[in-house]
Structure formats: structure tokens, C-alpha cells
A and B are shown apart, each in its own frame.
Chain A
């Protein structure tokens, strides 16, 4: 019977956990700029591809 107390308590704690996560996210400024991260996310591949090319790429550039 008393399992319902336990379950509800757990569910409330889970909900509070999410709420705290939300507050932390707002506090860190994640909601201040909602556009740039969506663009920035797509850059990462581009940069790493560039870096791997860098070592050979420089010589190639010199030839060109």
C-alpha cells in the first residue's frame, strides 16, 4: 500500500530535478542567445576536416 507514497515522492523528486536543470540552464545564459549555437553546431566538422588537411595542405598551398 505504502508503495504509492514512495512512487509519488520519487516522481516529485525527478520533476524537481528537471526543474533545477532548467534553472541552471537559464542562469548560465543558454536562453539569451537562441540562434548562434544552432549555426555553431554545424561548424565543428568543418574545422576538424581543415585541421587534418593542415599538415599536407600547407605544402599544397605553396605549390599552387
Chain B
């Protein structure tokens, strides 16, 4: 018995040393379990429940197959309108973040001194330490009719509404764009840039033909963050959005207020479809091959 126990570790290690597949299975089993059961499993449960319905009297979920929820998505104009609005906001936020992040990342990686680079990177990531709600409320105060922005611009502020939502979300997600784009620029070798200059290209031509194509995958990676995070947001729009609502507000309302989990699941198919289409579009441009 005692001898058996003493031999056990040797036996198992020799077993594994001759069987690489078993070793791999052991190594990957926990992460795979997480990915398949927890991560994909929860999405599958959600997808399935979109085809269920709710008993209007007891509020309990009835597990019989029905297409009613999906039909409702397409027949009630409300959901199409809000979905379109949400996707436009996501596109707007992404574009603003690209426009701000590309020059900033270029400066941080190629122009700034090593010490300034660290300081700038810290400055970009510091807001991530503050609570999301604090930042959203800060923008609420900034954008108020008698707030600082109104004071500086003489009252020409967008006020609360869709523009305020786009501005706030663009601010909130900016670090998620800058960091990957910075990493992308960092990977572009200086010698390529120098070679371009040596061959007579100007700064603009170099950026357009050498740098941008090389960092495009990084921009695409950042845009996936900003796009998908915007699709799921419902808090910022509640704080600075005035009377507008986005798709996630509808999902929240159906899930929490109406206690209609199946229809909330059906509604969440819209952002899911949008992000999958977005990923396919990114893949067609070849952006995902190097990420």
C-alpha cells in the first residue's frame, strides 16, 4: 500500500511523458471547460431561450418552441429604429476614437522620448482606474446647460442627447483603441520608415503607404472593442442621453422590468448579429490575419 503510493507520481509522470496528446488534453482541459461550458454554454442557453415564451399570468418561462419573439423583432418598427440608432452610435464612436487614437498612438510610439512615452501611456490608461459611473457623471456635469462646456463655448453645447452619448462613449472607450494602435505602431520597424524617406517619399506618403497599412489590423482590433462595447452600453445613455434610448435599454427593460427573459434574449440577437457581421467585414479586409 505504502509502496504503491510512493510509486504513483513516477507512474503518472512516465505515463504523460510518453503520451503527448494526454499531456495536451490535461493542459487544455480547464481553459476549454471554461470556454465551452461557461462562455459558449451561456450564449447557447440565451439563444435557445429566445425561442421560448413567458406565461403572462405567472411570469414563468414556458419552454415550448415559438417564433413569436423573432417575428416581433421584425414587425414592430420600434426595434428596427432603435437597432439602427444603436449601430450608428457605435459606428460614430468608433470613427471618433480612430481619428483621435491614430495620431496619438503615432506620436507616443514614434515621436515621444522613451520617458515621455511611459508618461503618456500611463496618462492614457489612468482613466481606466476610475469608475465608469464617475466618468459618465463627470460628462453629465460637463455637458450641463449651465456647465463648464456651456461657459467656455457661450452656450453652444449639444446638451443631453445622442451627440452627448456619442461623445461620452468615445471618451470612455478611447483607451481600448489607443493601446492596440500604439502596439501596432510599435511593431512597425523604424527602418521601413527610413527606407521610405530614403526612396524619396514624403511624410504623408510614408504614413499612407507604409505605416497605415501595417497598423490597420491594430485599428481593426481596437474598433472591435469600441464597436462592441458601445452596442452593449445602456448606462451612459441613461446619464447623458436625455430622452434617447439604445438597444441595451430595451433589453434591460424587457429582462428586468418586464421579467420577459425570452424576449430580452431575442432582442440581444441583434447586437450579436451586428458584431458577427462586423467581424466578418473585418476579416474580408484581411485585418484579422495578423492580430
| A-B interaction | no
- Residues of B participating in the A interface, judged by any CB pair closer than 8 Å: none
